[in-house]
Amino acid sequence: MTAALGVLLAGCGVLPDKPIKSVYLGERFNADETFSRLFDASVDDTCEAARRALLSQGYVISKTGSGVVQGAKRFQPDGEVHVEIAFNVVCVGDGPKQQVATAYVSAQQDRYALKKSPNAASLGVSAIGSISVPLSSSQDSMVKVASETIAAGPFYDRFFTLMQRMLRESTPDH
């Protein structure tokens, strides 16, 4: 019974051609600082520096406040590819009096590709039934083809360096 079900599902194209590797196996949970940095500033000042850093690079801020900043920027590397990078920053107070803050940052890259779909029209004829007639036009739409969390350390290092600069520039005693 189980074998028959497997054959049936394979025939319908439901089963993948090759096994999908479990991505969680690659999660290290190391104590590196790729996605976080400690700043000598309050939670509000740290998140404000993150907001200003994103704004200075052309990101559109969609959410700010309560220790959270979210922003996104869109790119079109060529005519049929669209890429969006979305940042999520969470600022958390650290230390006995919360005098310093850690910024936890992750960025996600979504890639879209142009998909062309030919249009067809149905024509109903009472004696025959309906007939599909292909038309020469096509409908273009952007379809998400990939989504991943950016894991490149140098990418985050540049962002944290810019945040630090924004903190220095906004603090009157520096």
Q: What is the CATH number of the domain that holds 85?
A: 3.30.310.80
**Structure-token match 């029209």, residue found:** 121
Is 11 domain-assigned?
Answer: no
Is 58 domain-assigned?
Answer: yes
Is 48 domain-assigned?
Answer: yes
pLDDT at 17: 64
pLDDT at 131: 58
pLDDT at 54: 98
Say if residue 7's pLDDT is above 50: no
Is 105 domain-assigned?
Answer: yes
Is 133 domain-assigned?
Answer: no
Q: How confident is the model at residue 119 (pLDDT cuts 50, 70, 90)?
A: low
pLDDT at 9: 45
pLDDT (tens digit, 9 = 90+) per residue, 88-99? 999 999 988 889
Return d(Cα 36, Cα 55) in angstroms, integer: 20
- Counted domains in the chain: 1
* Domain, as residue range, for 49: 31-111+146-170
- 30 or 106, greater pLDDT: 106
Q: How confident is the model at residue 23 (pLDDT cuts 50, 70, 90)?
A: confident
